[in-house]
A and B are shown apart, each in its own frame.
Chain A
Amino acid sequence: MGKADRISGAFWFIFSLFISYESHKLGLGALRQPGPGFLFFWIGIVIAILSLAVILKSFKKQSAGELGESIFARSNITKLLLVLSSLFLYALLIEWLGFLIVTLLLFLFLLKVIEKKKAWFAALVSFVVTALSYVIFELGLQSQLPRGLLEFLRF
């Protein structure tokens, strides 16, 4: 955990300094009339101290002979990144293409490309899921999902 703790500790340290800086800009006010940045400035300072403690502890652990292991299993990271990218694309495209199209595309992508299932299976499941979720969420729960390109369809 040593190296990982150093990385996360450093991250939170920088983050907290940034927060304290921004809070200071917002105005600390006076003690009798604390400003919007008051509490957060001090929280930032506290986090900075705590993150330094994390970093220091990681050195102590290292010297105690703890094995530094990689926390990421190499093989599936690509899968993870691909899925994440598809989700981000979903978010970015949903209003332009509409719920039906992006959902269909997402499932096709996940089932066919990522999970490598047969094309007919992926297509079937994608259609069924898209249709069912449309019925449940749009018609049943009135979620008002975006229509996007299919704006002309009114059903």
Chain B
Amino acid sequence: MMEILQNVIYGFGVALQPVHLMYCFFGVLIGTLVGVLPGLGPTAAIALLLPATFKVTPVAATIMLAGIYYGAMYGGSTTSILVNIPGEAASVVTCLDGYQMARQGRAGPALGIAALGSFIAGTFAVVALTFVGPFLSNLAFAFGPPEFFSLMIVGITVLTYLSSGSMIKSLIMAGVGLILSGVGMDTISGKYRFTFHIQSLLDGMGIVPVAMGLFGISEVLLNLETEIKRDILASRVKNLFPSLKDWGESIWSIVRGSILGFFLGIIPGGGAVVASFASYAIEKKVSKHPEEFGKGAIQGVAGPEAANNAGAGASFIPLLTLGIPANPVMAILLGALMIHGLQPGPLLIKNAPDLFWGTIVSMYIGNGMLLVLNLPLIPLWVKVLKVPYYLLYPLILLFCLIGAYSLENSASDILIMLIFGILGFLMKKFRYDGAPLILALVLGQKLETSFRRSLIMSHGDFSIFVSRPISLAFLIAAVLLLIIPIITQRKKLSTLRGD
């Protein structure tokens, strides 16, 4: 206990340095902005801003990128409530009741409870992270190649299970992601794989251009293809503070959402999006008036908003302790850390305590900043939303182009991004979810080397994956996730979205 306290104080020492405070502020500000703007999610934003972080220390970079992620969770709720267009995926659920509340003239309380619920949940997640983090790091020392392999399989399976659309298609996406991860040089044999003598592929398929294309460019292309009419509720948003009655109704939703979000966030494959959907489903189930959901039930806003922030905070844990990204956003962050020369994994807490504790503590600070930013600045965000799309999308495209180029001063990264942009667009049209692909792409190399190392360790004996207890547990979980949908009629979370 004392040790944790000492670490937290150390973390404050790092996080309160002016430069880190500044980057934290930028991160949450940009994150909120990105969350408010439909079409640009935290994944794309982090990918875009990655090149800008090369000039600063890894600690500052991580603090800022983390801020963007959970900041986007706050910002996304604003558009969901006011415009019925989710700023990003984790805010989709908030549209259901949030917008209805706004139409009933209760936009203020909706926004207020979303912000406050997010703050409570975010802080809860960070506190829990403080305790769970070091514990998991120690646990991870028992991990060998088979355990890592099985854990990654579980992660991909969970994400596949929870993805939108058919599970078969998501599995295909995961497979494709794994294949893409194989492009480039194979570290064990030194041979070049799938490069077809294309110069720019020798180093492998960069995650950042792929992510920017799949999530950023494709979104713009989709918006170009079908013009979205945006009806912004022009009425002045007043009464931002929820009434005591609102509090009474929502407080348990917030508590439930926080806990649920935290656990779902830790599981690789889970994260904020999943947490928000699950929370909505649970709130509806436990509610005394389930018929109110979809018509402006405040629990339908409070629960999911808490869940997505708790989930976002918790999803840092697998990355910082095990070096395994829990979701696509973390995957890009992993890429960022590696680019900065760090080795995320069990040793991170030992080798880079300033990064580990500094980031965690900055998340406390960030949550506070966001509370302050969100409530008073809502009129500003509404103005931002009124920027016409014909001005917005060229800007977004330009940021993507510059971002992709500046990764390695290479125009071929732009081309990769554009190609994946087209691919992402087609995938959305043909109903394939890109998240498993990105996760598999990031995990792929480590997955493959773990796999081969395991087999080398066991001299070709596959039973090594099931004879070791931790690995066996993971694999059983993965198999269950694959089989359950076949046995039971899976109630797709996507039906909530009305896919």
B194 at the interface (CB under 8 A from A): yes
The digit string for B11-51, where 1 denotes a CB below 8 A from any CB of A, is 00000000000000000000000000000000000000001
The digit string for B76-108, where 1 denotes a CB below 8 A from any CB of A, is 000000000000000000000000000000000
Establish whether residues A83 and B391, one from each chain, have CB atoms under 8 Å apart when the complex forms: no
Partner of B55, one of A33, A79, A141: A141
Query: A46–B441 Cα gap in the complex (Å)?
Result: 17
Across the interface, name the chain B residue whose C-beta is closest to A116.
B390
Partner of A38, one of B166, B171, B452: B452
A73 at the interface (CB under 8 A from B): yes
Establish whether residues B398 and A133, one from each chain, have CB atoms under 8 Å apart when the complex forms: yes
Query: A51–B168 Cα gap in the complex (Å)?
Result: 8
B189 at the interface (CB under 8 A from A): yes
Partner of B172, one of A12, A22, A35: A12
A67 at the interface (CB under 8 A from B): no
Partner of A94, one of B172, B221, B405, B456: B405
How far is the CB of B445 from the nearest CB of chain A, in Å? 11
Pair count A-B, CB < 8 A: 159
Tell me the residues in window 384-425 of chain B with beta carbons closer than 8 Å to chain A beta carbons.
Answer: 390-391, 394-395, 397-398, 401-402, 405-406, 409, 411, 414-415, 418, 421-422
Chain B at the A interface: mostly helix, strand, loop or mixed? helix
Establish whether residues B193 and A26, one from each chain, have CB atoms under 8 Å apart when the complex forms: yes
Beyond A77-B225, A84-B422, A94-B414, whether A145 also contacts B459 by CB under 8 A is no
B231 at the interface (CB under 8 A from A): no
Establish whether residues B415 and A133, one from each chain, have CB atoms under 8 Å apart when the complex forms: no
Query: A22–B182 Cα gap in the complex (Å)?
Result: 12
B291 at the interface (CB under 8 A from A): no
Across the interface, name the chain A residue whose C-beta is closest to B457.
A32
A71 at the interface (CB under 8 A from B): yes
Establish whether residues A39 and B431, one from each chain, have CB atoms under 8 Å apart when the complex forms: no
Query: A4–B432 Cα gap in the complex (Å)?
Result: 11
Tell me the residues in window 132-156 of chain B with beta carbons closer than 8 Å to chain A beta carbons.
Answer: none
Establish whether residues A54 and B172, one from each chain, have CB atoms under 8 Å apart when the complex forms: yes
The digit string for B40-79, where 1 denotes a CB below 8 A from any CB of A, is 0000000000011001000000000000000000000000
Establish whether residues A50 and B225, one from each chain, have CB atoms under 8 Å apart when the complex forms: no
Establish whether residues B411 and A94, one from each chain, have CB atoms under 8 Å apart when the complex forms: yes
Across the interface, name the chain B residue whose C-beta is closest to A91.
B414
User: In the complex, what residues of A have CB within 8 A of residue B221's CB?
Assistant: 80, 83-84
Query: A106–B415 Cα gap in the complex (Å)?
Result: 16
B224 at the interface (CB under 8 A from A): yes
A63 at the interface (CB under 8 A from B): no
Q: Which of A4, A8, A71, A92 has the most C-beta atoms of chain B within 10 angstroms of its own C-beta?
A: A8
B198 at the interface (CB under 8 A from A): no
A59 at the interface (CB under 8 A from B): no
Establish whether residues A34 and B451, one from each chain, have CB atoms under 8 Å apart when the complex forms: yes
B429 at the interface (CB under 8 A from A): yes
Establish whether residues B460 and A88, one from each chain, have CB atoms under 8 Å apart when the complex forms: no
Q: Which of A50, A51, A142 has the most C-beta atoms of chain B within 10 angstroms of its own C-beta?
A: A50
Q: Which of A51, A80, A144 has the most C-beta atoms of chain B within 10 angstroms of its own C-beta?
A: A80
Across the interface, name the chain A residue whose C-beta is closest to B454.
A34
Beyond A34-B451, A50-B171, A94-B411, whether A76 also contacts B224 by CB under 8 A is yes
Establish whether residues B406 and A143, one from each chain, have CB atoms under 8 Å apart when the complex forms: yes
The digit string for A140-152, where 1 denotes a CB below 8 A from any CB of B, is 0111111000000
Partner of B225, one of A30, A53, A73, A103: A73
User: In the complex, what residues of A have CB within 8 A of residue B405's CB?
Assistant: 94, 143, 145-146
Establish whether residues B182 and A80, one from each chain, have CB atoms under 8 Å apart when the complex forms: no
Establish whether residues A88 and B168, one from each chain, have CB atoms under 8 Å apart when the complex forms: no
User: In the complex, what residues of A have CB within 8 A of residue B460's CB?
Assistant: 30-33
Across the interface, name the chain B residue whose C-beta is closest to A90.
B401
Beyond A36-B193, A40-B178, A103-B398, whether A143 also contacts B452 by CB under 8 A is no
Query: A115–B55 Cα gap in the complex (Å)?
Result: 36
Across the interface, name the chain A residue whose C-beta is closest to B412.
A91
Query: A92–B178 Cα gap in the complex (Å)?
Result: 29
Establish whether residues A137 and B225, one from each chain, have CB atoms under 8 Å apart when the complex forms: no
The digit string for A26-61, where 1 denotes a CB below 8 A from any CB of B, is 110011111111111001101100110110010000
Interface residues of A (CB under 8 A from B): 1, 4-5, 7-8, 12, 15-16, 19, 22, 26-27, 30-40, 43-44, 46-47, 50-51, 53-54, 57, 71-73, 76-77, 79-80, 83-84, 87-88, 90-92, 94-95, 99, 103, 106-107, 110-111, 115, 117, 125, 129, 133, 137, 141-146
Interface residues of B (CB under 8 A from A): 51-52, 55, 166, 168-169, 171-172, 175-176, 178-179, 182, 186, 188-189, 191, 193-194, 217, 221, 224-227, 390-391, 394-395, 397-398, 401-402, 405-406, 409, 411, 414-415, 418, 421-422, 429-432, 448, 451-452, 455-456, 459-462
Interchain residue pairs with CB less than 8 A apart (12): A5-B430, A12-B172, A27-B189, A35-B189, A50-B175, A54-B166, A76-B226, A90-B414, A106-B398, A107-B394, A115-B390, A144-B406
Which 4 interchain pairs have the tightest Cβ spacing?
A32-B460, A31-B460, A91-B414, A36-B186
